[in-house]
Structure 1
């Protein structure tokens, strides 16, 4: 029982401690620091699962953990509910699994680069988990910066081109972080508190004021930049394309989803959507989501670099989450949350496949994948599952998030959203099916192997297993989608949607 009570803090504390010690252990032995970080990530995953079990067993909306036993609003607290523990489980699971995938890319690195990589990797997990479970607005800024700085580093480790991409992201990301910090300042000026639960009560007299509108705009732009929401996505294609291939699956899967969850948490749980300012914001968010879906899909269609196509596809998929929030009803909210979780696994799986292709053949041209189903069977099967999910074919998980989005649009009589979702699915089918066609139908491409495949599966087992696990997760999430909705999402619905 004691473990369950303190498990929320271990989600962050374990990877933080391991990351700070990683370089010291790596100096002793090149791989020792990596083992310490991986062990901590496994501990964080177990802590997330224990926390979820504890929250569900409590039967309450949320469980509060006071840091240092200082009561809020003076002290910092972690607030865990069924929804954010599910997101924490998603982050820690992907972080742990993908940590094994990273190792073949680091075999020729010295202790400093090997340990430095896993230090940044662990700190990225810390930032993502901290943003998810914190109940303090300034504490979220701290974790946002930890996430961003470690993300910049992992992107820069991808090579010469990645440095420019990381620098561009740093410049734009700093603007986003600054806007968030400015928003916090004005929020504190209005409410005199930094605690989210406290702010949600004290902010009500100000919800129709220009100052509140300014704060909301700051948060929209700040989180919009961090989640690569159109038209604030300019940094993202290069960052995803040129980031370190060992971390690209984790970066693409989680680094944009946590800011999306933070936006959802502020708008639905702290500010509420039933006021004039938030009503206008939902209209803006809907327009941004529609534009992101359509333009991201069209841009993905024009790419021949597999990684860049996936990057623009992410812009479109994040538009789905924005559209679900903009609907402002229960079905739209469920669809947004489901797609946030589902897309993390879909995009992680695809980027792991791309990294495997680049590792073995040194290129990722979409039109040179012929015969890959024979050379890399697990990767090809995972690609098929991810493609079916992206298009929205049952029983993969992508179908169910799109289904709830359709229901939300129908309930709100927002038929433009239905039309956009249908058109987007058709565009997804066009540019994703060509990948499957190349892999399974086109004749074998003459690719030069730059790494020995080591196994009959085409890659080292440390790369094959994460690809297989994330691909299988796409199917499992689809099959158990109703359980996820009933036991997690519906239990954690915000009060503003239940009125």
Structure 2
């Protein structure tokens, strides 16, 4: 059974989704979905352990060896991301039942869990597969289910947000498909490992450059990299609260993975620097995203929208690390993938608790929340401190590595701007803290905490923000090994191309 873990990782949620339709009662569908997600999390942990101890895992579907057949290829990079996605899905699902019952019509709740499992299967499939066309297939599975999850909210604005995301997502997926088709036209293969060997032979052709451009733009649309981020604030704001928590913690991480996988493994690290200084462009766009999105977040009255804009800023930090192109820079990006999942999971789960108890998340709704819901308010503040990058939280760890990576390459200005960008986060987080603790609450405002089933997952995420901010051995060791491995592969690809 252990030899089949790569395919079980994807097939369990993929088969579990239609099984939810049989379990028509929402409570049973929730329990089943949580069970499937928890199994996927356990499998992810076992895969990470296997890769850490024994190296890369290659699994040929149906016994057909690549490039004739489709293979799943698990290394430290995607094993780490599999753990993040399945883990956050499990934690958020644990506290989802009552929020789903409140925010989604009863007749659509079972459909919600079907779409959730499909979205999870799509994301895990993107991470596990070693076939470029399979990436597109799983990208569409996760995207279509995401549009559904967003649109199921009781708010009418959710339909427009889902439609807006559908248009942008379809354009992005089309760009990715065109890029994959151009690569196939030039190499005759869709296997990523095989592409990495064959692309250097035709690296100087316009077709390959066009393929890379299409893939980068398509993935950046999915990633919500500035200025391609317009869909994200509405999607996060009007989606059901647990959907926002799930997507913020996982979806953008999968898109960053694709950017890393194609840039470093398939095309090679230095491919994009031949004619276009893409690394410098990434650093520039990342910095603009940090400052522009953080500035907009300060002015928002809806808390979900403010934290949604902060996600655009945090994506900017990841892209800056990617643009630095060093082992330390790439490690900072991978660390921030993990840390951002924890901090955004905690922040949006706190909003799940707020929605359940007080029914709104505007600045007026949370006035005096520190006295009315002290545990939830403290959890939100802790997540906010991690977002800022305060020492002893996970946010500090990844920003420290990012600043160190910039310093190591003599980019003092970039390091300074990263620190200044964090100060902007202080402004919009402190504004919310001031409202929660120093403003009087309305006389008839609801009091009391959310149910324990919501508080426990929230507290688990908060503890994760603190624990991994103090004991950094697991994320630092895994990301360091993954970053080093990626850059070795990238350089080997360039050398093979040069020799030929």
Please report the TM-score for the alignment, with normalisation by the length of structure 1: 0.93
How far apart are 1:8 and its partner, in Å? 1.5
Secondary structure of the 2:96 match is helix
Residue 372 of structure 2 corresponds to 375
Q: How does 1:27-426 map to 2 (within 5 A)?
A: 29-58=25-54, 60=55, 62-107=56-101, 112-158=107-153, 159-275=155-271, 276-277=273-274, 280-426=277-423
Deviation at 1:441, TM superposition (A): 2.9
> SS in structure 2 opposite 1:64?
strand
Distance 1:8 1:75 in 2: 15
* Number of equivalences: 487
Change in CA separation of 1:278 and 1:359 when aligned onto 2, cut-off 3 Å: farther
Equivalent pair of 1:207/1:277 in contact (CA under 8 Å): no
Q: Partner of 1:401: helix, strand, or coil?
A: helix
Structure 1 residues 359 and 98: alpha-carbon distance in aligned structure 2, compared to 1, 3 A threshold: same
| Contact preservation (8 Å) 1:369, 1:445 | no
Higher mean alpha-carbon deviation, 305-314 vs 204-213, is at 204-213
Asked if structure 2 preserves the Cα contact closer than 8 Å seen for 1:230 and 1:292, the reply is: yes
Q: In 2, are the aligned partners of 1:378 and 1:467 still within 8 Å (CA)? A: no
* Distance 1:133-1:151 versus aligned 2 partners, 3 A rule: same
User: Cα distance 1:74–1:412, how it changes in 2: closer, same or farther (>3 A)?
Assistant: same
Instruction: Find the aligned partners of 1:226 and 1:412 in 2 and give their Cα distance.
Output: 29
TM-superposed CA distance for 1:349, in Å, is 1.2
Let me know the Cα RMSD of the aligned residues. 1.8
Partner of 2:9: 11
Residues 411-444 of structure 1: CA distance to partner in whole angstroms, max 9, x if unpaired? Answer: 2222332122011011011111222222223333
Q: Distance in 1 between matches of 2:212 and 2:41?
A: 33
Q: Distance in 1 between matches of 2:205 and 2:390?
A: 45
How far apart are the structure 2 equivalents of 1:411 and 1:497?
19
- CA shift for structure 1 position 486: 1.7
Please, which moves more after superposition, 299-308 or 3-12?
3-12
Partners of 2:203 and 2:459 lie apart in 1 by 48
> By how many angstroms is 1:223 displaced?
0.9
Q: CA deviation at 1:277?
A: 3.9
Task: Note the C-alpha offset of 1:150.
Answer: 0.6
Do the aligned partners of 1:370 and 1:443 also contact (CA within 8 Å) in 2? yes
Q: Partners of 1:421 and 1:461 in 2: how far apart?
A: 38
In the alignment, which residue of structure 1 is the partner of 2:458? Answer: 467
Alpha-carbon contact 2:100-2:240 (below 8 Å) kept:
no
Q: Is the 8 A contact 2:67 2:191 kept in 1?
A: yes
Secondary structure of the equivalent of 1:233? coil
Superposition deviation, residue 208 in structure 1: 3.2
Structure-1 separation of matches of 2:479 and 2:281: 28
| 1:313 Cα offset (Å) | 0.5
Asked if 2 retains the 8 angstrom alpha-carbon contact of 1:254 and 1:344, the reply is yes
Answer yes or no: is the 8 Å Cα contact 1:368–1:438 preserved in 2.
no
Equivalent-residue separation in structure 2 for 1:219 and 1:283 (angstroms): 18
Deviation of 1:488 after TM superposition, in Å, equals 4.5
Cα contact 1:320–1:336 (8 A) shared by 2: yes
- Consecutive unaligned residues of structure 1, counting only runs of 5 or more, are none
**1:446 and 1:415, CA in 2 relative to 1: closer, same or farther beyond 3 A?**
farther
Displacement of 1:497 in angstroms is 5.2
Q: Secondary structure at the match of 2:121?
A: helix
Contact 1:23 1:116 (8 Å CA) reproduced: yes
Range with bigger deviation, 132-141 or 277-286:
277-286
Query: What per-residue deviation string (whole Å, max 9, x for no partner) do you get for residues 363-388 of structure 1?
Result: 21225423212322222222122111
For residues 403 and 442 of structure 2, the distance between their equivalents in structure 1, rounded to whole angstroms, comes to 40
Query: In structure 2, what is the Cα distance between the partners aligned to 1:209 and 1:317?
Result: 35
Instruction: State the match for 1:496 in structure 2.
Output: 487
Report the CA distance shift for 1:304/1:327 in structure 2 as closer, same or farther (over 3 A).
same
Could you tell me how far 1:103 is from its partner in structure 2? 0.9
Instruction: Write the deviation string for residues 76-115 of structure 1: whole angstroms up to 9, x where unpaired.
Output: 1111112211111111111111113221133366764121
> Does the 8 Å contact 1:48/1:88 carry over to 2?
yes
Deviation at 1:311, TM superposition (A): 0.9
Structure 2: any 5+ residue segments left out of the alignment? 492-500
CA apart distance, 1:447: 5.7
Is the 2:327–2:483 contact (alpha carbons within 8 Å) kept by the matching residues of 1? no
Residues 203, 271 of structure 1: 8 Å contact kept:
yes
Note the alpha carbon deviations across 1:293-333, whole angstroms, 9 max, x for none: 11111111111110110111011100001110000001110
